[in-house]
A and B are shown apart, each in its own frame.
Chain A
């Protein structure tokens, strides 16, 4: 039986298998069709119907279940919803167990949430460091400009204020007002 205890392990293995069998396009389709439109349809429904309050309901519940040690912090205002991951439960599982079958596991988050939020009318600012730390800001699709300054939304919980957060942008995968997993900033 495929279990849920080590889900992140076989989920990540599946990305690598899909890419070998059907290329990058099949991985993208998997994130959008299987995860966004099927598995996580409860998230889609909440966010499409309620916007930022729906994001709070969805991520507030699911992150508490996945990361009861609170390796994350949620901030929200009327115009922005933000999550700072200081210890991603999912990436952390892979790192602790030495699992690496796909070139960038972290891409899966933008792979399904990007299309989901586009359909709900939101864009995403995001950076991840591949080591279990990342941040996300979701704003209405009319938002413009670059990334908000560190601390301006999450205060001292902003993951970019950590002493181990890379100062060199080349060590980060970065997105600005994006919805596509392949829309990384150069």
Chain B
């Protein structure tokens, strides 16, 4: 997915089609700083507040637009992330975001950065907070470069999230 994003499906729009991958260095460094200074619970709290606050416009679109809006968002999102290889599947009761190549993990490795081992958990803590705000539920399986995000209506019965199902990131 390397075409220009459908920016109408993104809440915040830039003038260039894709972001600068070096910013993944800053996200990884931010996680390291927060984990060191505020601990795991502080880091999770940051992600949850980010999900409910900064991403509020997305959450509202998901709340009103349902799963089709979720699918449109993730297609637009990953089209704007350099190096992403992602398939977004729309199933009757859920949307699956199948990440074949995580652009962040890829670039952090290419840049020889020490990746925070909890890195992949951020997608769950952030995504679950966003989903809950939108009346949805979210699960994450995999990590360390390839993973699957599942978004479904809150009434859909999904197995509980096991944190062991989220792989530790390695450099």
Q: Are A30 and B33 in contact (CB under 8 A)?
A: yes
Q: Are A35 and B50 in contact (CB under 8 A)?
A: no
Given contact pairs A2-B126, A7-B20, A17-B49, A39 touches B13 in the complex (Cβ within 8 A): no
Q: How many residues of A contact B (CB 8 A)?
A: 37
B98 to chain A, nearest CB (A): 13
For chain B, the bracket of interface size reads 35 or more
Given contact pairs A1-B104, A3-B80, A3-B81, A97 touches B19 in the complex (Cβ within 8 A): no
Interface string of B96-131 (1 = CB under 8 A from A): 000000111000000100000000001100110000
Q: Are B19 and A4 in contact (CB under 8 A)?
A: yes
A62 to chain B, nearest CB (A): 7
- Residue in A closest to B55 when the chains form the complex, CB atoms: A10
B155 at interface, CB cutoff 8 A: no
A186 at interface, CB cutoff 8 A: no
Rounded to whole angstroms, the CA-CA distance of A39 and B111 in the bound complex is 11
Interface with A: B22-30, B63-71, B156-164, which one? Answer: B22-30
Q: Are B15 and A69 in contact (CB under 8 A)?
A: yes
Q: Are A21 and B38 in contact (CB under 8 A)?
A: yes
Chain A contact residues, majority secondary structure: helix
Q: Which residues of A contact B80 (CB under 8 A)?
A: 3, 5
Interface string of A53-91 (1 = CB under 8 A from B): 000000000100110110000000000000000000100
Q: Are A2 and B20 in contact (CB under 8 A)?
A: no
B75 at interface, CB cutoff 8 A: no
B10 at interface, CB cutoff 8 A: yes
Q: Are A21 and B23 in contact (CB under 8 A)?
A: no
Interface string of A1-38 (1 = CB under 8 A from B): 11111110111011001000110001001100111001
Q: Are A13 and B24 in contact (CB under 8 A)?
A: no
A99 at interface, CB cutoff 8 A: yes
B14, B24, B26, B28: the one contacting A6 at CB < 8 Å is B14
A135 to chain B, nearest CB (A): 22
20 contacts between A and B (CB under 8 A): A1-B104, A1-B126, A1-B127, A2-B104, A3-B19, A4-B19, A4-B20, A9-B12, A13-B53, A14-B46, A21-B38, A29-B33, A29-B37, A30-B30, A30-B33, A34-B29, A38-B33, A42-B111, A68-B16, A97-B12
Identify the B interface with A (CB < 8 A): 5, 10-16, 18-30, 32-33, 37-38, 42, 46, 49-50, 53-54, 77, 80-82, 102-104, 111, 122-123, 126-127
Identify the A interface with B (CB < 8 A): 1-7, 9-11, 13-14, 17, 21-22, 26, 29-30, 33-35, 38-40, 42, 62, 65-66, 68-69, 89, 92-93, 96-97, 99, 101
